[in-house]
């Protein structure tokens, strides 16, 4: 293990950097990030699909996850955020490497009355407990119900916290006991336009205190 000295480091005090630099640093350093490919629906039933990597699971009793959805540059809500506020429901779909391009294309700013699923031909299947459908090219989907909306910082970012009310895992990924991460093949977001697939997998059992 290499130890670094203070002179080996470039340091930033939060008060000296602007929002775009803060974004560059935090999104480049908190990597690899899981991607929540979120399907949601407006009250009229139009299906929206978009990716979010400021995302993680935050509880397991019950299982809950949280996603930070920023405002658009013009200060308005993104379609996903508006749909979640309107309906309280969404689905987090795991993106396999084979769907990286479809997932990335769905991040383009389509008008609110356009369904990314339709325009990009993203296949869907019905959910079991929420109205928004699941993405059918995803090997695992989590149906979610909103529990809390937490405004963060200056108000540009908002954390949407939700309970997972149903899990769906493809049989090729789940053998009845374990999730096979290699079969799941989740895409991870790195800084800027970069993504990763799983690399070498290391096994370590939980140690006892010495």
Ligand X SMILES: Cc1cc2nc3c(=O)[nH]c(=O)nc-3n(C[C@H](O)[C@H](O)[C@H](O)COP(=O)(O)O)c2cc1C
Residues that bind ligand X in the complex, under the rule CB under 6 A: 35, 48, 50-55, 68-70, 78-80, 104, 107, 109, 189
Q: Based on CB atoms, which residue is closest to ligand X, 70 or 183?
A: 70
Where b means 16+ CB within 10 Å and e means fewer, 152-163 reads eeeeeebbbbbb
Q: How far is the CB of 139 from ligand X (least distance, A)?
A: 18
What's the rounded Cα separation, in Å, for the pair 192 and 210?
41
Q: How far is the CB of 107 from ligand X (least distance, A)?
A: 3
Q: How far is the CB of 136 from ligand X (least distance, A)?
A: 19
Q: Based on CB atoms, which residue is closest to ligand X, 180 or 190?
A: 190
What's the rounded Cα separation, in Å, for the pair 42 and 116?
13
Q: Based on CB atoms, which residue is closest to ligand X, 64 or 174?
A: 64
CB 135 within 8 A of CB 49: yes
What's the rounded Cα separation, in Å, for the pair 139 and 28?
27
Q: Based on CB atoms, which residue is closest to ligand X, 55 or 143?
A: 55
Q: What is the residue-wise DSSP string for 51-66? A: EE-SEEEEEETTEEEE
Q: How far is the CB of 97 from ligand X (least distance, A)?
A: 13
């Amino acid at each position: 293990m290499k130890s670094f000295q203070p002179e080996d480091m470039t340091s930033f005090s939060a008060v000296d950097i602007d929002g775009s630099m803060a974004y560059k640093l935090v999104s480049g350093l908190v990597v690899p990030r899981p991607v929540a490919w979120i399907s949601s629906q407006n009250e009229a039933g139009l299906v929206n699909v978009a990716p979010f990597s400021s995302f993680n699971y935050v509880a397991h009793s019950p299982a809950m996850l949280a996603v930070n959805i920023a405002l658009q540059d013009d200060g308005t809500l993104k379609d996903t955020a508006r749909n979640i506020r309107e309906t309280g429901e969404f689905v987090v779909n795991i993106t396999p490497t084979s769907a990286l391009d479809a997932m990335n294309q769905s991040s383009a700013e389509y008008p609110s009355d356009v369904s990314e699923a339709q325009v990009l031909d993203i296949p869907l299947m019905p959910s079991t407990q929420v109205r928004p459908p699941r993405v059918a090219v995803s090997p695992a989907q989590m149906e979610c119900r909103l529990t809390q909306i937490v405004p963060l910082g200056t108000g540009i970012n908002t954390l949407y916290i939700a309970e997972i009310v149903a899990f769906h895992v493809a049989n090729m990924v789940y053998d009845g006991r374990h999730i096979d991460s290699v079969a799941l093949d989740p895409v991870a977001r790195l800084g800027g336009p970069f993504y990763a697939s799983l690399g070498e997998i290391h096994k370590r059992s939980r140690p006892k205190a010495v």
